[in-house]
Amino acid sequence: MKLLFEKSLPGSCGRYLPDSDVPEYALPEDALRKTPPALPELSETELSRHYSALSRRTYGVNCGFYPLGSCTMKYNPRINEELAALPGFTEVHPLQPEHTVSGCRAVLDLAEDALCRVTGMDAMSFQPAAGAHGEFTGLLLIRAYHRARGDFKRMKILVPDSAHGTNPASAAMAGFDVVNLPSREDGLVDLDALRRAAGEDTAGLMLTNPNTLGLFDTGIREIADIVHEAGGLLYYDGANLNAVLGVARPGDMGFDVVHLNLHKTFSTPHGGGGPGSGPVGCKEALRPYLPASRLAGAVSPESIGQVRAFHGNFLVVVRALAYLLSLGSDGLLEASETAVLNANYLLHRLSPKYKAAYSGRCMHEFVLTLEDLKSETGVSALDLAKALADRGIHPPTMYFPLIVHEALMLEPTETETKETLDEAADLFLELYKAAHDRPELLKNAPLNTPVRRPDEVAAARNPVLRYTPGEAAQE
Amino acid sequence: MHFPENLQYSESHEWVSFSEDKTALVGLTDYAQHELGDLVFVTLPEEGDGVTAGDPFGEVESVKAVSEVLSPVTGVVLEINVALQDSPASINESPYEAWFVRVGEITGKVRLMNASEYEAFVEGK
């Protein structure tokens, strides 16, 4: 497929701007560029066709089953888009007088109230633009809390080895040292290891609950007590909140700070369709340190400052609020119950052949280990994922969490029908058989996707991140 | 999978080769490179750095993930294999030639296994 630059026809254009009716202002000579920028020149028709063609080569939740574990690829209801497109929300400027944007303010207040009730937190900031940004912001709150108490020695953040990779990365970015906590055989936090690790240098613990193995850590109250007694705080990674809406609240489990992924749990566009939104909520004791964008009242002098301009990705919050209000508290509970039911149903359908990394029931997602399949047939988790893509299913998350070998992590979400789950399960079982009978079929997959197997080594070592005029694009 | 007789092996899948001059070469085992998949980046310590048995001294990044490489011995890094940084794939191709560091002034080590013990250890995983 040709790039926009390669389709460029000099002289074409898709602008409909009238002639300027204001006096031209000449910029100083030394501020002017000497050569025009290398921009593609296309008519609006050509441009529109280009992006339509690209959209046909992508795979989204509107195309089919998308069980990408830990990403909660649920359907994004159209009513969210309808409301986010209202001119009262789109034709505004963040600096216009407050009394002219009271509707926008009401959206932020309503969303804060609803999400605080869902999470058991006391306050929330919508500035962070995505999950990892929320983690970083939450950790800055924890740092500010300890420092305000004159407690400068708390430089360690404890992170279980099942955590999302963003947890240790965010902790390191926020200036902490990361202490890796090995999980127990059953995949939960090892309380003895936690007791040994927690101490007067502990700033906090980051935990996802249910964790990335799809297991709810039933020791959470004890975990919270150990960390709190050591003087640390508890950080809740909201990536898996979709399992417990209306059932259990991070605030009641003992967490002090949470981030949410509106683009996962609250049905706003995700991935390339973003932008995301990673609001951070906290208990009362941390409220003074929240980012300084809140419209309400004066900015706290103890605030960590701004982490993004104004109110973050505001229109994403509008979409999430639309979702919250359409479902209501009963609907949120039903969403979580159905998400857990769907995951358990799919796990049950696959379990005659596929081996779960941890036995028993799961929450909203589960992890398979294809170690045995690989040693029997040579077919790896990667090969199976490629074969699934070939057959029109988005592959599950691969090779994560790191503590499971040949891992495939499936999260069907609540918005899939039993028929879709059955079709997917049938395909998984068919491919399991094919792996034994004709493994080369899986090893050569995919054949039908727009891109076959990319060269991952070359992509990691020599990434081409920008178009350079004159250099031929590689197909 | 191949585990040469003349090497010793750690539980964290490093091999170590002690030479007569009381230095040791350290690398990743065939099992480790197989589990990690195609390696794309290697981070090595600097010459003169101290290393501690059981503690990380470097990192390898595969197309799947980043992993730490633990030192099987306590000592001082005398030499690093700079060539690895340009060709991490050589660890996949010939893990026992692709040494990471040469360590001297050795004062301690983790529990090490011989080839047959390590093979049994890996099979038990």
Could you give the domains of chain A? 79-323 (3.40.640.10), 328-459 (3.90.1150.10)
The answer to whether A457 faces chain B, any CB pair under 8 Å, is yes
φ/ψ bin of A333: left (φ > 0), alpha (ψ from -120 to 50), beta (otherwise): alpha
Gap between the Cα atoms of A154 and A146, Å rounded:
7
The answer to whether B89 faces chain A, any CB pair under 8 Å, is yes
* C-alpha closest to that of A310 among A128, A139, A113, A107: A128
| B35–chain A nearest CA distance, Å | 8
pLDDT of A239: 96
Query: Is residue B87 one of the residues assigned to a domain?
Result: yes
| Domain span at B58 | 8-119
* C-alpha closest to that of A362 among A271, A243, A263: A243
Number of domains in chain B: 1
* C-alpha closest to that of A109 among A248, A241, A297: A297
A455: nearest CA in chain B? B63
A334-381 pLDDT, tens per residue?
Answer: 999 999 999 999 999 999 999 999 988 999 999 999 999 999 999 999
Query: Is residue B74 one of the residues assigned to a domain?
Result: yes
B49-105 pLDDT, tens per residue?
Answer: 999 999 999 999 998 788 899 999 999 999 999 999 999 999 999 999 999 999 999
Query: Is residue B2 one of the residues assigned to a domain?
Result: no
Would you list the DSSP string of B37-97?
-SEEEEE---TT-EE-TTSEEEEEEESS-EEEEE-SEEEEEEEE-THHHH-THHHHH-TTT
Gap between the Cα atoms of A299 and A177, Å rounded:
30
The answer to whether B82 faces chain A, any CB pair under 8 Å, is no
The residue count for chain B: 125
A395-454 pLDDT, tens per residue?
Answer: 999 998 888 989 999 999 999 999 999 999 999 999 999 999 999 999 999 999 999 999
Query: Is residue B101 one of the residues assigned to a domain?
Result: yes
Query: Is residue B48 one of the residues assigned to a domain?
Result: yes
Pairing of strands A407-410, A397-398: antiparallel
A404: nearest CA in chain B? B35
B28-63 pLDDT, tens per residue?
Answer: 999 999 988 899 999 999 999 999 999 999 999 998
pLDDT of A475: 42
Show the beta-strand stretches assigned E in A245-365. Answer: 257-259, 280-282, 355-356
A121-172 pLDDT, tens per residue?
Answer: 999 999 999 999 999 999 999 999 999 999 999 999 999 999 999 999 999 9
- Element at A203 (helix H, strand E): strand A202-207
Tokens for A330?
A: 């009963």
CB proximity list for B5: less than 8 A, separation 6 or greater: B114, B115
Q: What's B105's domain CATH number? A: 2.40.50.100
Would you list the DSSP string of A240-274?
GGGGTTTT--HHHHT-SEEE--HHHHT----GGG-
Mean pLDDT, chain A, whole residue set: 93
Residues of A within 8 A of B60 (CB-CB) are: none
Gap between the Cα atoms of A357 and A355, Å rounded:
6
Gap between the Cα atoms of A255 and A206, Å rounded:
9
Partner-chain contact A460 B41, CB within 8 Å: yes
CB proximity list for A348: less than 8 A, separation 6 or greater: none
The answer to whether A456 faces chain B, any CB pair under 8 Å, is yes
DSSP A20: P
The answer to whether A461 faces chain B, any CB pair under 8 Å, is yes
Query: Is residue B92 one of the residues assigned to a domain?
Result: yes
Would you list the DSSP string of A160-186?
ETTS-THHHHHHHHTTPEEEEEPBPTT
Query: Is residue B13 one of the residues assigned to a domain?
Result: yes
Gap between the Cα atoms of A187 and A167, Å rounded:
17
Tokens for A220?
A: 């959470």
pLDDT of A34: 92
Cβ-Cβ contacts under 8 Å between A and B: the total is: 20
pTM: 0.89
